Amino acid sequence: MKIGIFPNYKKKDSKVILDKVMTFFSHKKAAKIILPMDMAKKFHYENFGMENILEADLDLGISIGGDGTLLGICRLLAPHNIPVCGINIGNLGFLADIETSELENKLTKILCGKYNIEQRLMLAGYIKKRGKITLAGYAVNDVVLTSAGVARMVGLELELDAYKVADYRADGLIVSTATGSTAYSLSAGGPIINPKVKVLLVTPICPHTFYVRPMIINETEKINIKIKDTSQKVILTFDGQDVYPIDQDEQVLICKAPFFAKIIKFDDKNYYKILLNKLVWSNSNADSK
């Protein structure tokens, strides 16, 4: 089994956890471990590094970090049909399914094939200009359109399947998957949606008009966003990580991606239990500050 390891070097505990992972697999002949060369050099595992890890024909990837780290690895590996599992050393781990206290147990299950692969809907964002359509990026959680400078409202026109649905004056607009419903959209007042439900969620950010509310739409609908009435530069962000600038004469097209994020989960994890624990932990942690 070829396993790609993707540690987040910005996390202070990454080296400790990576060392434990490497020690575990060093005694397992059934696994070949590969790291991206830049990470291999940073963590002094050059012998396991590969310049273009996508050429390694990986069976799965393991991220070491938080959900953000896992999202980035999903965007990298999903187009190649490679599943990803996350080791959580972040604060909130909705997606990263392995806690550090259960590291050896879960890595053993991976080698034995005792895990499930959940297919999560992904988004594709495109830019349309003068009839030409260009891919801007992919997202597991959300694609967000906002102003790039000082927070100011943006005028937006929303079309669903070529039918005009609404005009917004808001700080921006979030288009998310059910997976991303517990991310930025939740902070903006959107509902929580079980990721097994194949829908898209459109959530305005601080809308100026009272009647404007989040909309749940079919996963097959195509979203067209036209930018109106703003002197601000506008940007698209993908999972809060990749940024794409938008010009005034460009339209944003968002739809279901042609592939899924494949995320490894284990039988002892329940979505609602995780949801309750993480949200309660988040709330109690905020109260303690």
Residues 6+ apart with CB under 8 A from 6: 35, 36, 39, 61, 62, 63, 64, 69, 73
Each domain of the chain, given as residue ranges in start order, spans: 2-115+266-287, 122-258
Domain 122-258 falls under CATH 2.60.200.30: yes
Closest CA to 175 of 72, 248, 257: 257
pTM, to two decimals: 0.92
Structure tokens at 246: 């938008």
May I ask the CATH architecture of the domain 2-115+266-287?
3-Layer(aba) Sandwich (3.40)
List the chain pLDDT tens, one digit each, 289 residues.
Answer: 999 999 999 998 999 999 999 999 998 888 999 999 999 999 999 999 999 999 999 999 999 999 999 999 999 999 999 999 999 997 767 898 899 999 999 999 999 999 999 999 999 999 999 889 999 999 999 999 998 876 678 889 999 999 999 998 899 999 999 999 999 999 999 999 999 999 999 999 999 877 789 999 999 999 999 998 667 789 999 999 999 999 888 999 999 999 999 999 998 777 888 788 777 655 555 444 4
Residues recognised as catalytic:
67
